């Protein structure tokens, strides 16, 4: 029998509020060999086996706090070498730039921008669509990926956001959604995966995505 | 394919127990909030809302523990309202595991609080709860006014104008309760629901008066609500959330089944 190694998932805390739900959902699907730590310590992030970048609130504050807390080098290092998952505003933080708050430069891991739906967003038939895009929408899996394992195509996930990402390289798109337009809600490149929705609020399919993440070896 | 309309069971919680009053009288015990929340989660509820009606602030600690317990076991969005007056109250509820907070009376007395809360925590977690009553007589142009104190005190504020103002101040969602319908089981006030939903760009949750599943359908189709909230029809086993979703699907509404 091979030796069972304990592995650590670091949830990055950059002072933007509630990470309780993310940590509880990871703990819910983790077995005894997985430790979930919520941390703002670069050393802990560097030592972790997997890293999750949550995102809450405004993008300017998010990216600003990542820099202020001295976490950006550890985030870049993690994205270069181990399984890495970004959620909600986290996916926007990985883009080049966001339109939010009069324009914010982001981490530029994925080339492309985060754009505003607009307060006058409309459906294909011209009827009004509410912004934020809030609630359960269907996610089309546009590639095969270990993080989609055991999740049906077009499963519904919980969203709450007013900005959406537009990557330059369409081959990086892992999932899409429809809300007056077809837009990217999941990005994948090598060991990095990012989603616009909240897996921790998306019931069994969301928990399955977290389960897939804590078992993922980082290979696409 | 697209965004589903939502069903949100609401739990009125007093000192750690689920209760439901009929127009705030005749309060009936409806169980342990953690158990009730798990049951709704299993039935397919899209979110759960708690309204803390605990009178004394000492007992608020009970609510915080309850939210913590539920957030560890139920992985759908949770909203907590009732007694949210300061940013510290919001921080406490979000840290306990709530995803959104409902601000009601405090918004009426201090609208700047909504702006401050949205700037600090983001609009996505700020739900402004509006208690409206119809004040126009039959034959007059429809008019609804904001009331406080469980529907007893008029404020002179026009409900539609107030909703628009709250969205300008940063509300990410509006929870609209018709105080003349609440607890009556006669259905939502569809007029005010539609007027507000058409006036704002954020989602509107219809509340107050649900007595059967057709009322939920009407709330979405005629009232243009983005979500419907109900309490007693689910608490006492008249209908399950699943049955409600099926009925709405049959009526042509996109739901998460």
Closest by Cα among B188, B176, B182 to B218: B188
A198 included as an active-site residue? yes
List of chain B residues with pLDDT < 50: 22-25
Rounded-to-integer distance, Cα A137 and Cα A196, Å = 11
Q: Give the residue ranges of DSSP H helices in B110-156.
A: 112-121
DSSP helix/strand/coil, B36: helix
Label the pairing between strands A84-87 and A34-39. unpaired
In three-state secondary structure terms, B190 is: helix
Give chain A's residues under pLDDT 70: 1-5, 16-18
For residue B175, give Cα distances in angstroms to A152, A166, B81, B171, B234: 32, 32, 10, 10, 19
Half-sphere exposure of B133 toward its Cβ, with a 13 Å CA cutoff?
15
Confidence at residue A17, expressed as pLDDT on a 0 to 100 scale: 63
Do B124 and A137 make contact, defined as CB atoms within 8 angstroms? Answer: no
Model pLDDT, residue A18: 67
Q: How many CB pairs under 8 A join A and B?
A: 98
Asked whether the beta carbons of A148 and A212 are under 8 A apart, the reply is yes
**Best residue in B124, B170, B174, B206 to probe A by mutation, most A CBs within 10 Å?**
B124
Which pLDDT belongs to residue B31?
Answer: 82
Residue in chain A lying closest to B6 (CA): A135
Cβ separation A57–B122 shorter than 8 A: yes
Q: pLDDT value at position B114? A: 97
Is A134 in Cβ contact with B172 (below 8 Å)?
yes
- CA-CA distance, A27 to A21, in Å (whole number)? 10
What per-residue confidence (pLDDT) applies to A4?
A: 60
What confidence score (pLDDT) does residue B25 get?
47
| CB neighbour burial string for B145-173, b if at least 16 within 10 angstroms, e if fewer | bbbbeebeeebebbbbebbbbbbebbbbb
Give the Cα separation of B77 and A171 in Å (integer). Answer: 32
Task: Supply B38's token pair.
Answer: 């798990």
Cβ-based burial of B26 (10 A; exposed 0-12, middle 13-18, buried ≥19): exposed
Residue B202 has its nearest CB partner, among A20, A120, A130, at A130
């Amino acid at each position: 029998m091979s030796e069972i190694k304990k592995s650590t998932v670091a949830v990055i805390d950059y002072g933007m509020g509630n990470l309780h739900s993310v940590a509880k959902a990871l703990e819910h699907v983790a077995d005894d060999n997985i430790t979930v730590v919520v941390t703002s310590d670069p050393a802990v992030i560097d030592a972790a086996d997997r890293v999750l970048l949550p995102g809450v609130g405004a993008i300017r504050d998010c990216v600003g706090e990542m820099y202020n807390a001295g976490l950006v080098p550890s985030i870049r290092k993690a994205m270069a070498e181990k399984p890495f998952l970004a959620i909600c505003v986290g996916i926007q933080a990985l883009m080049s730039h966001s339109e939010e708050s009069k324009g914010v430069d982001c981490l530029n891991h994925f080339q492309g921008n985060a754009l505003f739906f607009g307060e006058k967003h409309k459906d294909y038939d011209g009827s009004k669509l509410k912004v934020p895009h809030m609630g359960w929408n269907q996610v089309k899996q546009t590639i095969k990926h270990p993080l989609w394992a055991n999740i049906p195509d077009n499963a519904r996930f919980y969203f709450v956001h007013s900005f959406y990402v537009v990557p330059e390289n369409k081959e990086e798109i892992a999932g899409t959604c429809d809300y007056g337009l077809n837009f990217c809600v999941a990005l994948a490149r090598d060991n990095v995966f990012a989603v616009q929705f909240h897996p921790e609020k998306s019931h069994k399919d969301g928990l399955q995505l977290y389960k897939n993440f804590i078992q993922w070896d980082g290979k696409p | 394919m697209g965004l589903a309309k939502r069903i949100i069971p609401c739990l009125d919680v007093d000192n750690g127990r689920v209760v439901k009053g009929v127009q705030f009288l005749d309060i009936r015990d409806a169980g342990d909030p953690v158990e009730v929340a798990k049951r709704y989660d299993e039935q397919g509820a899209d979110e759960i809302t708690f309204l803390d009606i605990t009178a004394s602030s000492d007992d608020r600690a009970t609510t915080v523990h309850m939210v913590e317990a539920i957030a560890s076991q139920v992985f759908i969005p949770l909203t907590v309202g009732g007694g949210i007056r300061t940013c510290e109250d919001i921080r406490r509820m979000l840290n306990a595991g709530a995803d959104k907070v409902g601000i009601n009376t405090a918004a009426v007395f201090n609208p700047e609080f909504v702006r401050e809360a949205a700037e600090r925590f983001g609009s996505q977690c700020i739900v402004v709860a509006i208690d409206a009553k119809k004040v126009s007589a039959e034959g007059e142009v429809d008019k609804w006014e904001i009331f406080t104190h469980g529907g007893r005190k008029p404020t002179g504020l026009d409900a539609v104008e107030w909703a628009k103002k709250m969205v300008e101040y940063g509300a990410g969602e509006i929870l609209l309760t018709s105080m003349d319908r609440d607890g009556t089981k006669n259905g939502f006030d569809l007029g005010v629901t539609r007027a507000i939903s058409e006036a704002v760009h954020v989602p509107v949750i219809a509340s107050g008066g649900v007595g059967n599943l057709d009322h939920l359908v009407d709330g979405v189709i005629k009232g243009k609500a983005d979500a419907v909230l109900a309490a007693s029809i689910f608490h006492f086993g008249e209908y399950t959330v699943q049955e409600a979703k099926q009925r709405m699907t049959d009526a042509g509404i996109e739901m998460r089944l």
